[in-house]
Structures are given as C-alpha cells and as structure tokens.
Structure 1
Amino acid sequence: MQSVSEVVISEVQGGALTVADLEALADTLMQSVALGASIGFVLPFGFVQAQAFWQKLLPAFELGERRLLVARLDGIIIGTVQLVVDQPANGAHRGDIVKLMVHPDGRRRGIARQLMAWAEALARVEGKTLLVLDTVTGSPAQTLYEDLGFVLSGTIPHYAMSTTGILESTSVMYKVLV
C-alpha cells in the first residue's frame, strides 16, 4: 500500500533557511518562471539568478518586514508565499501578498489555497485589515484569488512583461479582513 504524503505549511521564523531550503526555493522559483509565472522575471532565468533573489530577501525575512510561508512535502519546500507587513505609517493596516508559487511537482493539491489561508491568518495576527495583490489579468491565479474572496479593484494595461516578452495587463485585487 502506497502512503500519501502530507503537505505541511509553516512560517520560516526569522529567515532561518537551510542551504537545502534555499535550493528548494530557488528551484521552485526557476520552475515557476520556466512555466510562465509572471512573478517579476523574464527568460532566460536560471538557478543562479533564483538563488540570488532569495539571498537578497534574507535580511527582510530576518527583520520581519516580510513573512515567509512555505509548503513542504516530505520535508522539501514545494511552495511559498510572502506577506509584506512593513508598510508606511499610513498603510500600517495593510499587507501585501507577493510571490505565491508552487513547484510543478506539487501542483493540483490545493497548496496555493493552503498557503493563502495561512497568509490571511498571519495577516490577521499582525493586525492587518486589508490584503492587496496583483496578478496577470485573466490568469488562473486571478480565478484562485477571486475564489478566495479577493475583489478586483481594476486593471492596468501593459503593466508587466511576461516571461516571453509580451506586455500583459495586471489585475489589482484586495480583500478586506474586518
């Protein structure tokens, strides 16, 4: 009989990431970009660039400016999302959801939904009453966010370049937590 592995969601406390964690995060980022995820990168994009991205964020995780949630399968990180809690004084009530991604090996298991539920719960603990994010207009991600109660605020045409060099519209979304 084959056992089913359980996905475990947790917050990485104080940016405490092992070398294996950083490699898994870099691989997840690299694979997501290769499959066309619009998360800030264009092709060509490789493992070294992905590692550099995560290394650059370590101080923000350590300071608690960004909170890092990860999904692990058999102890290996296969998904992640960040909650940006460090905001200017007039936006202290707001949290930004950024860089939701799931490794191709972990897709279709509800991991993105679980990560978002944890991010929302963490935002509430942090006293946030509003979550904001942006995503490619008409994408499966937009549908996911709508299913999770996010509301479309508007779209911006030609906002970001896709991984293949096409300018795409973005949908700005929000969720009130009160």
Structure 2
Amino acid sequence: MTEIVPVSGPELVTYSDELAALMIEAVEAGASVGFLLPLDREAAAVWWRERAAAVDAGSQQVWIARDDERVAGTIGLARAAMPNARHRAEVAKLMVRPSARGRGIGRALLTAVERSAAEQGLSLLVLDTETGSDAERLYRSAGWTPCGSVPDYAADPYGTLRGTTLYYRALGHPETSAP
C-alpha cells in the first residue's frame, strides 16, 4: 500500500539519499526535472538536503509516496514569495520510480498537493512540464489547464532542447487571511 506523507526539513535530510536514488532513476528514464545525465548520486542528495531550510521556513513543501517502506515518488510545492502572489504556488519535481509507475502514485501525489494547497488558502497552482511527456498526459487527465508552450525551453536529461507546456489549476477563491 502506498502512503503519501509530507516531510519536514529534518525528514528531508533523512530521506535525501533515497530521494537522490529516485531522482537518478527518474532522470535515467527520461524525466525532465532539471537535471542532465549522468547525475551524480551525492550531487542529487545535496540538492535535496539544500531544500530542508526552505521546507522548515514554509516556503517549500515536499511530500513522499512510501511504498512498502521505500520512497516510490515525490512532489514539491513552492510558495510564491511576492506579496501580490501569495494566493498561488508552483508544483515541482513530481517524480515516480519507473518500477512504480502505472499504479496511480503520480496522481495520488498531485491530489495530495492540490488538497493541501486548498487547505492553506491557496487558490491557484502552476507548473511546467515537457511538451508531449507522460507527465503532461497526467496533468491533462487530472484537470489541469494548459495555457501555452515555449519551444526549446529546457534540455532533457540527454541535453536535447525540448518544448515546455505551462499549466494551471484553479482551486477556488483565496482566503483573505492567506499568508
């Protein structure tokens, strides 16, 4: 059974090696999540550990999907910093181990983020993903709205420039007390 749980900054540090392994597997399988091949395991672990302070500060959140005590997936949420944008956040780094794909883990992670964002008073989520990717199909089927694409936006793990499609998801009206 897969369990989706938010992680604290110290927990993120604890999980950093396992998240690094997940990231490497995802990138090796072609996931365009900001990294190029070959991806060094220690560099990937450091990347995760560097997020701990932002998680503790509340500007970022990270969830993991645990499947039989193993991290099967992850997703992040980055709060907008500017005062006029505190009603929105960016979904980032949705990754599922290739061996765990096709079991609804990605959708469960996305649903957990959407639910948490709404509970926090956020009314708008945004994300970007490689045009034509499996991730894009997930976002469309989950009700996200495409709002444009940019050609040659980012390199895939092999260094080839690919287009990126931007998506948004309206969650409702912002609470007047949203931070």
Shorter-chain TM range is over 0.9
* Structure 1: 5+ residue stretches without partners: 1-5
Which of the residues 135, 146, 170 maps onto 2:164?
170
Deviation at 1:139, TM superposition (A): 1.0
State how 1:88-167 maps to structure 2 within 5 Å.
Answer: 88-167=82-161
What CA distance in whole angstroms lies between the structure 2 residues aligned with 1:8 and 1:158?
36
Q: Does 1:9 align with 2:9?
A: no
Change (3 A) 1:15 1:117: farther
The answer to whether the Cα contact below 8 Å between 1:66 and 1:86 also exists between their aligned partners in 2 is: no
Q: Is the 8 A contact 2:12 2:49 kept in 1?
A: no
SS in structure 1 opposite 2:143? coil
Query: Match for residue 44 of structure 1?
Result: 38
Counterparts of 1:149 and 1:40, CA distance in 2: 24
SS at match of 2:122: coil
Contact 1:16 1:62 in 2 (8 A): no
Distance in 2 (alpha carbons) for counterparts of 1:123 and 1:96:
10
Change (3 A) 1:15 1:87: farther
Aligned length: 172
Cα distance in 1 between the residues matched to 2:121 and 2:97: 30
Deviation at 1:87, TM superposition (A): 2.5
Within the alignment, does 1:73 sit opposite 2:72 as a pair?
Answer: no
- What TM-score do you get using the length of structure 2 for normalisation? 0.92
The offset of 1:165, in angstroms, is 1.2
Q: What TM-score do you get using the length of structure 1 for normalisation? A: 0.92
Task: List gaps (5 residues or longer) in structure 2.
Answer: 173-179
How far has the Cα of 1:79 moved from its partner? 0.5
Alignment root-mean-square deviation, CA: 1.2
- Equivalent position amino acid for 2:118 in 1: R
1:90: how far off? 1.0
1:54 and 2:48 equivalent? yes
Offset from partner CA, 1:16-70 (integer Å, 9 cap, x none): 2363x22211110111111111000111212111111101111111111111111
CA gap of 1:15–1:98, structure 2 versus 1, over 3 A, is farther
Check the 8 A contact 1:31/1:103 in 2, yes or no.
Answer: yes
CA positional deviation for 1:75? 1.6
Q: Is the partner of 1:17 in helix, strand or coil?
A: helix
- 3-state SS, counterpart of residue 50 of structure 2: helix
Letter in 1 for 2:150: I
Q: Find the aligned partners of 2:13 and 2:32 in 1 and give their Cα distance.
A: 26
The alignment-based identity, stated in percent, is 37
